[in-house]
Amino acid sequence: MNKIPKKIGLVLTGGGARGAYQAGALSALFEICARNNLEWPFKYLCGTSAGGINACFIASRAGNQNMMALSQELQDLWGGLHSSHVMDVNPMNLTTNGFQWVRSLSLGGVKTNKKSLSLLDNAPLKKLLKKYIDFKDVRRAIDGNVFEALSLSMVCYSTGISQTFFMGQENLPHWRRIKREGLHSELTHDHIMASSAIPLVFPSIKIGANYYGDGSLRDYTPLSPAIKLGADKLLIMGVRKRDQWGYYDPNPPTPAKIFSVILNGILLDALDTDLERLERINRTVSKIPEGMSELRIIENRVITPSRLLSTIAEQEIDSLPKTIRFFINGLGNAHEASDLISYILFEAPFTKRLLELGREDVFGQESDLLEFLTT
């Protein structure tokens, strides 16, 4: 089996149902590794939100060293998804939830339940996670030196701090920076639920004495955990087309448009900003004589969609459960709501198209990725 010479960190960002794109990209990458007889390629698996689900899924299977089988399992999981696997789609419950959500926002919570406010109930997701992810297998892979650490990032609502919990080898350091920290922890399914709890859409999750939500919130440096853990290189998988500029719309924004912009800002913008920061640091370090700085150049590759996922979501809106579609129609038309739809469209017509796009994009840069992995 061919060795991977450098310690590569895999960074998987958030994005709800857009995570199917990452799954497709990963499935193609594992096929490439298997065909070229490469060992397990990643030393650090760092995920946030839906990226955290993918990170935990592959980490739980890393010890098997059967990357061709893992490729198929990723496709089967995301290609077979339905909304009912992720959230309660009972029309009565959805209507009640939506009414309570609107009433709480409009009446200041007068005579409403003070529990975590959310539009949707994602309790079914936990059952799905328990079915497919066993953290005992993750621990065995770490102890067997297949990889060194798995991390999940989330925001602590109780303190306002972005926290990265990592399950790894004992010598890995904790870290603390302004409003963010990394902590050793034995990860659980609650950590995944917390990391993927999109604000207002899904409820916050209590872990210990604190309440947590989607890791993309307040995570301004999504590349940092992999670097802090010790990665020499980064393979980064995002879920938005790079250099994507919004279209101009002279009309007043609808609630759907506003909600979409807010979610994009929370879930997607930080990666582009952090990549610009890393590129700037790399340029600076390249001009410093060797041995004169503790900073190092972090080589990286970025895999992002070659097409707009919001456009695909708009085309597949009819596969949404009727009650959710009815609620979204009340916020704006399908085009205005397309970004919002792309986060919650956990239905096979959408996820299968994203899987295929992810595979196409990775196979299209196979030679470059092989060189990146093996040098």
Q: Strand, helix or coil at 104?
A: helix
HEC-encoded secondary structure of 133-167: CCHHHHHHHHHCCCCCEEEEEEEECCCCEEEEEEE
pTM, to two decimals: 0.92
Rounded distance, CA 258 to CA 337, Å? 9
pLDDT > 80? residue 188: yes
Q: Kindly state the tokens that stand for 75.
A: 């496709």
Instruction: Output the 3-class SS for 155-224.
Output: EECCCCEEEEEEEECCCCCCEEECCEEEEECCCCHHHHHHHCCCCCCCCCEEECCEEEEECCCCCCCCCH
**Mean pLDDT confidence for 207-229:** 93
Contacts of residues 169-175 at CB distance under 8 Å and 24 or more positions apart, as own/partner, are 169/142, 172/148, 172/229, 172/230, 173/228, 175/228
- Is residue 166 a contact partner of residue 186, using CB atoms and an 8 Å limit? no
- pLDDT value of position 238: 94
Predicted confidence band of residue 141 (pLDDT cuts 50, 70, 90): very high
In the prediction, which pLDDT does 253 show? 86
* Single-letter amino acid code for the residue at 354: L
Give 253-259's long-range contacts (Cβ < 8 A, gap of 24+): 253/336, 254/331, 254/332, 254/333, 254/336, 255/331, 255/332, 256/328, 256/331, 256/332, 256/333, 256/336, 256/337, 256/340, 257/332, 257/336, 257/337, 259/331, 259/337, 259/340
Confidence of residue 265 (pLDDT cuts 50, 70, 90): confident
Least confident of 88-92, 148-152, 204-208: 88-92
pLDDT at 100: 67
Local confidence band at 329 (pLDDT 50, 70, 90 cut-offs): confident
The token pair that represents 63 in the structure block:
């010890």
Q: Residue 35 corresponds to which amino acid?
A: R
Question: What percent of the chain is modeled with pLDDT above 90?
Answer: 67
Domain boundaries, the chain: 8-109+122-242+261-374
Sequence-ordered alpha helix ranges (H) in 12-90: 19-35, 50-59, 67-79, 83-86
Please name the amino acid found at residue 74.
L
